[in-house]
Structure formats: structure tokens, C-alpha cells
């Protein structure tokens, strides 16, 4: 995700001649660890990724955060 975020940040999108659009990307990710995915519900994983996304925004945006 960090490679994608960095690519989005450095890409230049031409809106009209002389007008460039630059984008940034904030990402929250979550993963199952140690086989716990068997007990977790999909919505728990989505909730964890969503919390990581809001953490990325609070920490300054344009970053990737991983749920703990």
C-alpha cells in the first residue's frame, strides 16, 4: 500500500493545459494474524481497517496505517 500511496502522490494529472491535479492517499489496513481469522467476523476486520484509516487522517493524512 505504501508503494501505491507514493505513486499517487508523485503522479501528475493534467486537467487542462497548464493546470495539474495532484492527489494524496490515506489508507487504513487490517490483517488477520496467528490464525485468528477463523474466529473473527468480516465486519471486525473492516472496522479495524476503518479505525486505521481515521488514525492516518489524524496523523496528518497521505500515509498508511496498519491496525494493531
pLDDT at 37 over 60: no
Q: Which domain holds residue 32?
A: 2-66
Quickly state the pLDDT bin for 61 (edges 50, 70, 90): very high
Instruction: Compute the average pLDDT of residues 39-54.
Output: 87
Evaluate the CA torsion angle 46, 48, 49, 54 in order and state its sign.
positive
- Give me the CATH number covering residue 28: 3.30.70.270
The predicted model scores a pTM of 0.77
Residue 13 has a CB neighbour count (10 Å cut-off) of 10
State how many domains the chain has. 1
Residue 49, all three cell numbers = 481497517
Amino acid at each position: 500500500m505504501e508503494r501505491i500511496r507514493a505513486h499517487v502522490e508523485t503522479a501528475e494529472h493534467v486537467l487542462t493545459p497548464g493546470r495539474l491535479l495532484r492527489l494524496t492517499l490515506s489508507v487504513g489496513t487490517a490483517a488477520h494474524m496467528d490464525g485468528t481469522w477463523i474466529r473473527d467476523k468480516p465486519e471486525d476486520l473492516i472496522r479495524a481497517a476503518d479505525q486505521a484509516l481515521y488514525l492516518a487522517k489524524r496523523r496528518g493524512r497521505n500515509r498508511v496505517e496498519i491496525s494493531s
